[in-house]
Amino acid sequence: TAFLVAENVAMTNRHVLERMVNEAGSDEGPFTLKARYWLNFGAQANGHKARRFKIEKVLFAGPRVIGGSGDITRLDMALLRIGPPEAGGAKHPAPLPLSLEPVRTFQPIAVVGYPAVPRVHTGVGTPPVDYELEEVLRRLFDNRFGFKRCASGEVDSAAGFQGDARRWTIQHDASTLSGNSGSPLLLLNNGPVRVGALHFAGRPREQNYAHVFDKLATELRDAGVPLV
């Protein structure tokens, strides 16, 4: 998953980017794309036509390799420059505003992204890692994956919980799957909807993690991303 944060600039996770570049094992790059990639803003469950825009360049990546660690001490964020559409006349959506407002415990949120087809546990008892119960998947996702989905929830812990020495991560309980990496976490306060954090990892049936932006203002502004 990725989303626009400025004109022709998209945000995703660094561990997502690492699948797309030749230098996946390099901390600081420079990074080169190993194939042609696009962002598709038309992957809707109701069958909207594709609106694909070419990914041209890596503008920023967190300074340490992520791999599959889910280490909250490492910045799992990347910014990409988006180029022209695959088909003439296509328009990308307006950028989503990023907020420096502190994200509070128990704050209502929504995570919007593209949950991928999961592995289904058909036995009894607690599913192993990376597997989910069919009944839960049917109830929460209606067994429809690979399309844009919205999952509501709330913040379980604000930034600065035990282990978050950088104070740039929150814990939340919105239902996510593999494929949701890079999803915007929307703040559902009264007033305009803003992106309060970037979802990046989780522990099945335990906790999800997202980076808040107040500790990342310098990196974002240097990349031309407006903040509110």
pLDDT for position 47 = 67
pLDDT at 206 over 80: yes
Q: pLDDT higher for 86 or 128?
A: 86
Task: Give the bridge partners for 35, in sequence order.
Answer: none
- Residues 7-29, mean pLDDT to the nearest whole number: 95
pLDDT-based confidence at 203, cuts 50/70/90?
confident
pLDDT for position 63 = 94
Q: Which of 145, 118, 142, 146 is nearest to 132 (CA)?
A: 118
pLDDT for position 36 = 94
pLDDT for position 125 = 78
pLDDT at 74 over 90: yes
Residue 68: phi and psi, rounded to 5, are: -105, 25
Distance of CA 26 to the CA centre of its chain: 21
The sheet carrying 38-40 orders its strands as 3-6, 9-12, 78-85, 52-61, 38-40
Rg of the chain over all Cα atoms, to the nearest angstrom:
17
What average pLDDT is seen over the chain?
A: 90
Question: Using one digit for the tens of pLDDT, what is the confidence trace for 31-40?
Answer: 999 999 999 8
pLDDT-based confidence at 100, cuts 50/70/90?
very high
Q: What is the number of residues in the chain?
A: 228
Q: What does each C-alpha distance from 54 to 20, 62, 67, 80, 106 come to in angstroms?
A: 13, 22, 24, 10, 38
Q: Which of 105, 114, 107 is nearest to 16 (CA)?
A: 114
pLDDT at 87 over 80: no
pLDDT for position 164 = 96
- Residue 51 · residue 114 · CB < 8 Å: no
pLDDT at 137 over 90: no
156: region left, alpha or beta (phi > 0 left; psi from -120 to 50 alpha):
alpha
pLDDT-based confidence at 169, cuts 50/70/90?
very high
Share of the chain above pLDDT 90, in %: 61
